[in-house]
Structure 1
Amino acid sequence: MKQLNQTAGLLQTDSIEVADTANTEFYKRFPYPWPPMKFSYLTDPDFETVMLNQSIGDWQQRTIPRHPDIWIAGCGTNQAIFTALRFPNARIIASDLSRNALDISATIAKELQISNLELREESINQATYVEAFDYIICTGVIHHNTDPAASLKKIATALKPNGVLEVMVYNEYHRVTIRAFQKAIRLLTQDEKTHERNFEQELAIARALVMHATTEISLYDSLLEYRDCPEPMLADTLLQPIEHYYTVESMETLLDQCGLRLQAPYLNPFDKASSTFSWNIEFEDSKLQHQYDQLPDSRRWQVTNYLKLNHSPMLWFYVQRKDNVAPRKTEQQICEEFLATRFVKPTTTQRSFILTPQSSHMYELSAKEIPFPATPEERSLRRIYDNFDPEKTAQENLNRLGVKTTFHIVNQFRLKLTTSLFPYLQAVS
């Protein structure tokens, strides 16, 4: 049987129950993530749903309804809060096996007066939902399970036939340094006879290596970034007991086994910050560019993954069921529809709950209302945005501005103008 992924981590087990117990104990000790400086929301309750639909290439904005059923499969301490604020008209269930994480979420939800969220203490491996959700979020979760395919099948069963799953698993090439560090920690701390683990001992050794790393250690530069990080981040990144990691190719094989298919990349703020979010390479050789652009989407993403290695984006994708009635749109088709569509500049305002540790309340609502979205920072995007005529199609606007409409160029402008991460234009459906 073809190997689907690589495995690492500090615990070696084939038991789903043992893995669930280990993860429960781990996140009881290290609640993840830590409280953010602010939680923001938009005053237009439909804004995020519209942009989510556009992100998967639905210019009619029908795939995700205005009042969706959403499941966060492994919510941690704050993902449920962010999601409830993003989709105020949604009915949201957030699951986690950590009671501690759920208690933190519940406290914040109560303080922010969130009413569209239900928190449930449950493992995704024990979930019994059947075709219940329009949108499922599962990021950084299944790769911490003994059998990711079994976990993912549970999630696939919970997805409505035309629903969308947002899933993230570790990119193999992002974990090379971490894998070496984990193996060193295991050798330094694990009892050779009993193989028992001690989180506190592992944490102490990890801290010592991070704080006192010298240039003799090849990992020196990689470890420096963890010196001032919060303890939960250090633990989740370096000490998580179980992990699997993938390439685009092995991730697609995993999805196929679970009756799922890749739909589109999820553009995330982490890749944006490091300028590594693009799954499309621009070559100087025009023949090579044409050959590359003509590849099926997932095969092109595989090439990108292999050529960019640790500089390739995170494996964070929108996924749909293979038996979805609607045929999958290729990026080429999405770009063609983008060119034929008229767009307006959406406007709303953003408000924020600010962390106030010295106050009687953990978060307080700021009086400021900030216009949203802001003007694009990138010069080429700002030129199109500032001169965009809502009475004309995107094709007509780009032609008028002298922009070439090759697939690569159009796809970059589509991604950077009409998606959740770059929500500057809204389709006129």
Structure 2
Amino acid sequence: MTDTLLRRHYEIYPYPHYPLIATVRHCDTYALNLDALWARFNGVLPPAASKKILIAGCGSFSPYPFAVANPAVPITALDLSRPSLRRARLHCLLHGRLNVTCQAGDLLDPQVAGEEFSLIDAYGVLHHLEDPAAGLQALAQRLAKGGILRVMVYSRYARREEESIRRAFRLLKISDPVTVRGLLKRAAPDSRLHRFAETSPEAGFEAGLADSLLHPRVTTYRINEFMQMVAQSGLQPLLFAHHGALENVSLEVQRIRLLETERTSPGNFILYLGKQTTGPCASSESHVMLNPCLTESIRPWKLTPLSIAPRLGHHMPTLGFSQKKFLRRFIRPVPWNSLSADDQRAVEVYIQGSFLLQYRV
């Protein structure tokens, strides 16, 4: 059952290849926090006994930021590539993250990571499988009731130029990143190769070139094709998370369809899916709490330490003194009904941005 083609690619080119000293700040992982995601889509905090995370196709880095965001949650990191898993495990250990278990195997094998998980991440994975729909269904079967699955797949039009280059290289039997780097250096200024070299962060390292331009299998999607695959999985689309996405899923699908008539895209598709999620809670019954990842960053005396280590991830938006002061009120849960009307309006904005959690008790 093991996908030999995929396994060989990532054994040769473990991806990504960040320095082992690279770090992420706790506050920059707030969007990966299980409590925040569960409360957003279920209106309650997750049951402590069932809090488990699966990173399907984890690569060599993802387990580390998930462990930073969820330090007390057991995390299973699953990948076909043992070299990727070794590097992922080492990155976690070097930074004191001990809640990750690495497991080699194929996500299509029901005997591998066969338990149920509260949160599954499959970021940039399904589009490399021989049967992406079967992969999505296999992940849906591992999702607990109320569970959340994040997927990212390539958009047809966001990947148009990379796919043109990749297909040309396959026809020319170019399969070596060193050769590709030489071609990029000699590329004409108005060529696709030159545009890729100038704009893609993948152009700077061997594993990035191999993943973007030399991958043996890639599927790209128009939005209707993607949503049809989602419908076949039986999971409910909850929220698009790519840049500029509308909150309403149906409206975002319509917006992307219009973009596609002009052969363009908002980027690759990032979508949260749910399995029998119950939706957000009614405000009158709720409590509001700070996202656990932000507790230290909003302390009045908190200073950002100097470090020679490169920092990765999407940085938390800068908060001013008054914003931090407001958020500090929610380090401990606050009943919604105890807030003034003005505070309730402010809280709703922070809930929308996942800085605050709203949940029934």
Shorter-chain TM-score bucket reads 0.7 to 0.9
Output the amino acid matched with 2:148. V
Give 2:191's aligned residue.
217
User: Within the alignment, does 1:349 sit opposite 2:296 as a pair?
Assistant: yes
Pair 394,424 (structure 1): closer, same or farther in 2 beyond 3 Å? farther
Contact map agreement 1:343 1:393 (CA 8 A) in 2: no
User: Within the alignment, does 1:239 sit opposite 2:214 as a pair?
Assistant: yes
Output the amino acid matched with 1:213. A
Contact map agreement 1:71 1:137 (CA 8 A) in 2: yes
Q: The residue matched to 1:90 in structure 2 has which SS?
A: coil
Give 2:245's aligned residue.
278
How many residue pairs get aligned? The number is 332
Contact map agreement 2:155 2:265 (CA 8 A) in 1: no
1:148-193 Cα shifts (integer Å, max 9, x gaps): 1111221111111221111111112211111111111112216xxx
Contact map agreement 2:45 2:359 (CA 8 A) in 1: no
Match of residue 137, structure 2, among 131, 153, 172 = 153
* CA distance in structure 2 between the partners assigned to 1:316 and 1:214 by the alignment: 33
Pair 64,145 (structure 1): closer, same or farther in 2 beyond 3 Å? farther
Match of residue 40, structure 1, among 25, 35, 58 = 25
Q: Please show how residues 182-201 of structure 1 align to structure 2 within 5 Å.
A: 182-189=166-173, 199-200=175-176
Contact map agreement 1:144 1:243 (CA 8 A) in 2: yes
* CA distance in structure 2 between the partners assigned to 1:171 and 1:47 by the alignment: 23
Give 1:392's aligned residue.
340
1:39-61 Cα shifts (integer Å, max 9, x gaps): 3336x9999333223543x4x43
Contact map agreement 1:49 1:66 (CA 8 A) in 2: no
Pair 353,52 (structure 1): closer, same or farther in 2 beyond 3 Å? farther
Output the amino acid matched with 2:18. P
Contact map agreement 2:122 2:152 (CA 8 A) in 1: yes
Contact map agreement 1:169 1:316 (CA 8 A) in 2: yes
* CA distance in structure 2 between the partners assigned to 1:151 and 1:113 by the alignment: 32
Q: Identity across aligned pairs (percent)?
A: 22
User: Within the alignment, does 1:51 sit opposite 2:36 as a pair?
Assistant: yes
Give 2:86's aligned residue.
103
Give 1:315's aligned residue.
269
Pair 45,138 (structure 1): closer, same or farther in 2 beyond 3 Å? closer
Alpha-carbon offset, residue 315 of structure 1: 1.1
Give 2:122's aligned residue.
138
Output the amino acid matched with 1:122. G
Structure 1: gaps (5+ residues): 1-15, 191-198, 281-296, 358-362, 364-371, 399-412
1:9-68 Cα shifts (integer Å, max 9, x gaps): xxxxxxx75xx21222211221111225313336x9999333223543x4x433575861
Pair 117,237 (structure 1): closer, same or farther in 2 beyond 3 Å? same
Match of residue 375, structure 1, among 319, 333, 347 = 319
Q: The residue matched to 2:102 in structure 1 has which SS?
A: strand
* CA distance in structure 2 between the partners assigned to 1:76 and 1:353 by the alignment: 28
Pair 218,116 (structure 1): closer, same or farther in 2 beyond 3 Å? closer
* CA distance in structure 2 between the partners assigned to 1:395 and 1:69 by the alignment: 34
1:347-388 Cα shifts (integer Å, max 9, x gaps): 51158896759xxxxx9xxxxxxxx884179xxx99x989x9
* CA distance in structure 2 between the partners assigned to 1:394 and 1:239 by the alignment: 54
Output the amino acid matched with 2:155. N
Pair 243,65 (structure 1): closer, same or farther in 2 beyond 3 Å? farther
Cα RMSD between the aligned structures?
3.9
Structure 2: gaps (5+ residues): 298-303, 331-335
Give 1:204's aligned residue.
178
Match of residue 250, structure 2, among 299, 309, 316 = 299
* CA distance in structure 2 between the partners assigned to 1:391 and 1:131 by the alignment: 41
Give 2:205's aligned residue.
230
